[in-house]
Amino acid sequence: MAQNNNLAELSAAGVAVWLDDLSRDRIRSGNLQKLADEYCVVGVTTNPTIFAAAISGSDSYDDQLHAMAVRGVSVEEALRTITASDVRDACDLLAPVAHRTGNDGRVSLEVAPGLAHDTDATAAEAAHLWWLVDRPNLFIKIPATEAGLPAITSTIAAGISVNVTLIFSLERYRAVMDAYLAGIEQRLTEHPEAGVADIESVASFFVSRVDTEIDKRLDKLGADPSLKGKAAVANAQLAYQAYEEVFTSDRWRVLEARGARPQRPLWASTGVKNTEYSDTLYISELIAPGTVNTMPEKTLMAYADHGRPGTPVQKAYDEAAAVLKAVSDAGVDLDDVFRVLEEEGVQKFVDSWDELTESVRTELQDKK
């Protein structure tokens, strides 16, 4: 079956194409399989917002909800049963990709966002979700909050693959990479017989939200409008530079020699929110080997139709640094931007989780 040329070229450049969406309808209709076969999709990411939309907009969950209502299960158990079921089925569908590639064919399931500032609870739920889905090509999503960092280390040390989410700043990204390496080191020390070759991780660096927040501040400052729409790409490009530094370091080489796999950068929030910008901006300008780009279907199809590669990331470091300096010189407090974005990101997922919980509660009551 022929694959889309633009996405095939993107894959050949070292970018793993993932879909930022999942629903039972998408799995049962064959749509996800088609995206894998024809549009080079080799992974899936989910979040509470995605599941809230999937469950509220479909009757595919009715039978399962009815059975759980009759059994009198709790809302929390029903919610996790539903989401784990969809993720497990997607893992099974993408298992051939995982067998073929070794590091793709992955599906992500997030810990409850309300635990974002509780290290022990995050680690405990990560272990529970890993057991519940019970598929080797699963990723557990853990937010890159300060409390999340030690949970990442302990979860990796337990042999669980992790997708670290909600990364906005270079400083926090470096802390995430350190947390991953510390987890690998702990695993090798405490369970040397188990090894680390089966542990995978990605670090989800958010993109479009950075432009949205910085553009708003540039407008308020009356700054040069030519600075707008550039900071997010520049920030991500410098993140890749940091990735190259860490994963060519002596510390990494020791772990690599013992079977460890690098934690790949994943570009998240890649749907363009400002219609004045190219709808493929956050794909075209973030092409680099050993990366993942997770895309909403609309963005995926836009790149499939008319996407073209931009400047290779590794040739853009000097310009990227200059862009962020210019934005800072214009009066934008980048540290505050990243703090606000993290707080808003956690809250948005908490709100979606609450919406999802209420939707499941209502469905359970209606189907008794």
Q: Which residues are catalytic?
A: 141
Q: Which residues touch 315 (CB under 8 Å, ≥6 apart)?
A: none
Q: Is 93 exposed, middle or buried (0-12, 13-18, 19+ CB in 10 A)?
A: middle
Contact between 201 and 179 (Cβ < 8 Å)? no
Tokens of 239: 């993140």
Query: How many other CB atoms sit within 10 Å of the CB of residue 249?
Result: 13
Buried b vs exposed e over 130-166: b needs ≥16 C-beta within 10 Å? bebbebebbbbbbbbbebbbbbbbbbbbbbbbbbbbb
One-letter amino acid of 138: L
Helix ranges, the chain (H): 5-12, 24-28, 31-38, 48-56, 62-71, 75-93, 95-101, 119-133, 148-157, 170-190, 208-221, 231-246, 250-256, 281-284, 297-306, 317-329, 334-366
Judged by phi (left if over 0) then psi (alpha if -120 to 50, else beta), residue 105 lies in left
Q: Which residues touch 158 (CB under 8 Å, ≥6 apart)?
A: 123, 127, 187
Sign of CA dihedral 16, 296, 54, 29: negative
Distance of alpha carbon 28 from alpha carbon 95, whole angstroms: 16
Question: Among 73, 69, 107, which residue's Cα sits nearest to residue 87?
Answer: 107
> Which neighbouring-strand residues pair with 267?
205, 293
Compute the residue count for the chain: 368
One-letter amino acid of 317: Y
> Which neighbouring-strand residues pair with 265?
203
